[in-house]
Amino acid sequence: MKRRDFAIGLGAGGLAALAAGARAGRAEAGPLSMVAPPPTMGWIAGQPRGDIGVAERAWAFAQSPASTLGRSDALLIAQDGRLVFERYGPEHGPEVRHISWSMAKSVTHALTGIAVNEGQVDIDAPLKTVAHPDPKLSLRALLTLTDGLDWDEGSYKPTDSDAARMLYGPGRLDGAAYTAARAQAHPPGTRWNYSTGAFQLAAAELQARLFPTLTAPHARRAAMAGWIRSRLFDPLGMTSALAEFDAAGTFAGGSLVYATARDFARFGEFYRQDGVWAGRRMLPEGWVTFARTPTVEKVYGAGFWLEASAGHAPPSLMGGHGPLDAFSCQGHNGQIVLIVPSKKLVLTRLALMPDDDAAWVRLGRWLTPIVNAFPDG
């Protein structure tokens, strides 16, 4: 497929940030790497380059009574496409599925990219699944969280969170319809606002493009579940992965994928490999760059969180103290798949921690020295 610059129109400085060089010994933007073979049939153990003792000590702290990180269920580190560190907490292990929460947004980004690569979707076309007249309300706007719909994620308390109301309250039977009914508060592409509903709507839009004649919930669910497995999970060897659906038969693309830590790590490796797996390009050229390019919010691209310099508000995961080319899937309660191209590194952490800002700051401070213990290249 001809290369497309999916990052066009995403705001000044986006591509320039990705093209920046090294500063203070840390790469601001590293090239995506395809050096090692992907773990098609299973992760291969490798010898780490760097001080693995930092990860050992961090994991020991996370499992100790002194930990302020909540419950740490898994920590995996892959370097050069090989597994160099793997630890699990009580009642967890290589075969135990874990909930993704909002890491599912990154999966929805991948699924959309696959459909684009197959010529089935144009992310700049007006949405089919809403009645809003603004033609700029597109998959691009949803994936970058610049849709402008009236949405208040708030917290997970049903009294003040549209996300909770969509998942567990009046929107639980049809999350996309609940989101699509929101007023257009701002022109698409002008403001960033975190929204689980945007990705639920993106998943519904993707399904509408792929299966336009299907309306019955069971048929929609079966068709989309089969497509997700055949196009993403099976090719990557994510044999444990399950995508959840609502009662309308729509993939809950903002919050609900279940997989083992090893399979979440596979997904991260897929993005480190620029959407190429076992020699086959599954995502269009430029699609991972799209994920890594800031929009109107420097710490978010499209379906992925980005790193920003120290002092940026809101702070990025590592607060400017880690590699600035890192980007990550992040989910409620401390779920992380962190991709660091400059270090050829993928770090996966699964957990149950408080979800307030202070907890995420603590998590970032815990992760940063682990990542910095691995050299570039």
Q: How many residues does the chain have?
A: 377
CA distance 335 to 105: 12
Q: Within 10 A of 47 (CB to CB), how many other CB atoms are there?
A: 9
- Give yes or no: residues 102 and 250 share one domain: yes
CA distance 20 to 261: 32
- Give yes or no: residues 49 and 87 share one domain: yes
- Give yes or no: residues 305 and 348 share one domain: yes
Contacts 24+ apart (CB under 8 A), 259-262: 259/97, 259/98, 259/100, 260/94, 260/95, 260/96, 260/97, 260/98, 261/73, 261/74, 261/76, 261/86, 261/88, 261/92, 261/94, 261/98, 261/348, 261/350, 262/43, 262/76, 262/83, 262/86, 262/94
Domain that holds residue 118: 97-259
Nearest CA-CA partner of 347 in 112, 58, 27: 58
Q: What is the pTM of this model?
A: 0.91
Q: What was the pLDDT predicted at 288? A: 98
In a domain, 206, yes or no: yes
3-state secondary structure of 47: coil
Domain final residue pick, 232, 259, 286: 259
- Give yes or no: residues 85 and 147 share one domain: no
- Give yes or no: residues 114 and 243 share one domain: yes
- Give yes or no: residues 153 and 108 share one domain: yes
CA distance 48 to 55: 11
CA distance 31 to 325: 9
Single-letter code of the amino acid located at 235? P
Contacts 24+ apart (CB under 8 A), 82-86: 82/36, 82/39, 82/43, 82/44, 82/45, 82/46, 83/39, 83/43, 83/44, 83/45, 83/46, 83/262, 83/265, 84/45, 84/46, 84/47, 84/48, 84/52, 85/48, 85/52, 85/55, 85/56, 86/261, 86/262
Torsion of CA 188, 189, 192, 198, to 10 degrees: 50
> In the chain, how many domains are there?
2
* Residues 23 and 348: beta-carbon distance below 8 Å: no
**210 token code pair:** 């792929």
Q: What was the pLDDT predicted at 5? A: 62
Question: CATH number, domain at 209?
Answer: 3.40.710.10
**Could you list the mean pLDDT of each consecutive 10-residue stretch along the chain, which spans 377 residues?**
49 31 34 46 86 98 97 97 96 96 98 98 93 85 97 77 92 96 95 97 97 97 98 97 98 97 98 97 98 95 97 94 98 97 98 94 98 96
- Give yes or no: residues 242 and 371 share one domain: no
- Give yes or no: residues 107 and 253 share one domain: yes
- Give yes or no: residues 242 and 305 share one domain: no
In a domain, 279, yes or no: no
- Give yes or no: residues 124 and 75 share one domain: no
In a domain, 174, yes or no: yes
